[in-house]
Structure 1
Amino acid sequence: MIKLVVCDIDGTLIGADENLHEKASELTKRLDAEHILFSLATGRADYLVSRYAEQLDISVPYITCNGAAVVSGGRRLTEKLMDAAPLEAVITEADRLGLSIVYSLGGRESVWRETPWILESRRRYGRYGRVHRFSREEWADTKLDKVLILDENKEGKIDTIENHCRRLFPDYGFTRYIDWSVEIVAGGVSKAQGLKELAALLGIPLDEVLAIGDHQNDIEMITAAGQGAAVGNATADLKKAADYVCKAEALDGVIEAVNHFCFSGRQLRKVPNR
């Protein structure tokens, strides 16, 4: 029996407009009525998750920064950070190649410089307002949640960055998102590890967890959970790893997966506001 549903955000719970549809709130209310908990697991920094947690009235902790932290009420219950100093070479190379660099520090995001992708994201979503490069002292003293390096033009430059990342393993981990980007975290950090920590905090066995996602950073999470679902727009790799592949995409796929695993295929009904 599923007691906890953990869902990715981007491409799964929300679409490109980053807005949360009313159907998501209806879903969490239905789960609550059945005494099934609902939480989030995302690569987003803490401050970018809180509004979704509030909109969905989520009372349990959630996973941020691809598993680097488990957060509740704006406070980190667990975290695993990485030293910035060993990343100087890869960040310097990414900057030389003209790639976009976003890093998270204490649950807040900053960018290395203003690339066209950064400027467009700021215009569309209001993100990436802080631009800051580390001083020599900061390289030595700073501990980071994660670093995202992105090749907006998909020119193959991510291959070079991946090679740098491989030299850092196993002290650092990374996820490659096809030909688009690489995300770096501390060794051992993943959504799967975050899921294990979340389940332990809630006292729920992993085999009573349903995890739902759409991309490469969700693979370990959906395989760690008792049941794992891939929404219809998920990557081929995630679909191969999933116990269930949804026909519907994004939020409609989430609803399909919850119906399949939690409600025996019954259609989700609209739940009156309480």
Structure 2
Amino acid sequence: MYRLIATDIDDTLLAPDGSFPEVNRLALARLHRQGVAVVLSSGRATVSMRPFAEKIGPADDTEYLISFNGARVSTVKSDTVLFQHLLSQEAVRIVMEYARKESLLVHGYRDESFLTEQDHPRSARYARDTGMNCLQTPDMAADLPLGSPKLLVIGDPRELPRHRDELIKRSRGLFDGVFSKPEYLEIMAPGVSKGKALHELAGHLKIPLEETIALGDSLNDLEMIATAGLGIAVANARDELKGVADLVLAQTASEGAVAEVARRFWSITA
């Protein structure tokens, strides 16, 4: 019997337009009421994930958030941080030196705000979409003395793979990078992934990995899909993810992919 479900948010739980299909919401609510550990797992900041968790039902600390692509694991109600792995200030400095030279837009994170060195319309849009405060700074590294859960590099999907390669050459082992979307390059501390976070959380809850399910759609879900007892790709997932998944669903996020999982493995109908 599976005791934990971890689902990506964008294009897995949510439809591409950002809406929350009611069948997916009801499925997770019923799973939670049955005592299944419900985990939302995303590249998003913690603060921008919490509203979706609260829509599943009354917030409590038996719901969990894997945020910043696995850099932070926390409870929903009290925001208790169970695990955290920050990028160092030196890693931020290396990335920002390259970003300035290449005119790349970068977001760093502190508390419930994100920081940027540019006055850019994409940052304003990001603030609206996530509900986060946008703080402009002349020196990202100086304003993040303790580091950051991640850095988000936003750019042209045709150019970002080259920039990722160049950044990794300069990393000195201080960071790694993965794509959450073609235009989003996520920079994290070495070893950080949704998969590692799932492993940490399952251990904390004393749930064997064999009793966990994870589902996603994109490249930053690869490790989580590989780590879970049952790794699932939604119908709209990237081909690379479908290639490593144990199961590929018939339904897309919009059609109720999460509800399909609840029906198939817990006999729950929304």
How far apart are the structure 1 equivalents of 2:80 and 2:56?
18
Within the candidate set 50, 63, 82, 1:60 is matched to 63
Q: What are the ranges of 5 or more consecutive residues in structure 1 without an aligned counterpart?
A: none
Q: Is the 8 A contact 2:113 2:132 kept in 1?
A: no
What is the TM-score when the length of structure 2 is the normalising length? Answer: 0.87
How far apart are the structure 1 equivalents of 2:49 and 2:141?
31
- Is residue 147 of structure 2 the alignment partner of residue 143 of structure 1? yes
Task: Give the letter for the 1:147 counterpart.
Answer: L
Within the candidate set 104, 112, 118, 2:109 is matched to 104
Per mean C-alpha deviation after superposition, the further-off stretch among 196-205 and 89-98 is 89-98
- 3-state SS, counterpart of residue 23 of structure 2: helix
How far apart are the structure 1 equivalents of 2:257 and 2:25?
15
Per mean C-alpha deviation after superposition, the further-off stretch among 41-50 and 174-183 is 174-183
What is the TM-score when the length of structure 1 is the normalising length? Answer: 0.86
Q: Is the 8 A contact 1:28 1:38 kept in 2?
A: yes
CA offsets, 1:137-172, max 9 Å, x none? 546x33111001011x33415412432124426432
Aligned to 1:183: 186
- 3-state SS, counterpart of residue 38 of structure 1: strand
Task: Give the letter for the 1:45 counterpart.
Answer: A
The structure-2 alpha-carbon separation of the partners of 1:31 and 1:124, relative to structure 1 and needing over 3 Å to count, comes to closer
Aligned to 1:37: 37
Q: Is the 8 A contact 2:117 2:140 kept in 1?
A: no
Aligned to 1:239: 242
Per mean C-alpha deviation after superposition, the further-off stretch among 214-223 and 103-112 is 103-112
- 3-state SS, counterpart of residue 63 of structure 2: coil
How far apart are the structure 2 equivalents of 1:51 and 1:124?
12
The structure-2 alpha-carbon separation of the partners of 1:183 and 1:125, relative to structure 1 and needing over 3 Å to count, comes to closer
| 1:12, distance to aligned residue in structure 2 (A) | 0.8
| 1:36, distance to aligned residue in structure 2 (A) | 2.1
How far apart are the structure 2 equivalents of 1:119 and 1:67?
25
Map 1:191-202 to 2 at 5 A.
Answer: 191-202=194-205
CA offsets, 1:243-267, max 9 Å, x none? 111121115122222322333xxxx
Aligned to 1:259: 263
Per mean C-alpha deviation after superposition, the further-off stretch among 87-96 and 204-213 is 87-96
Structure 1 stretches of at least 4 aligned residues deviating more than 6 Å after TM superposition: none
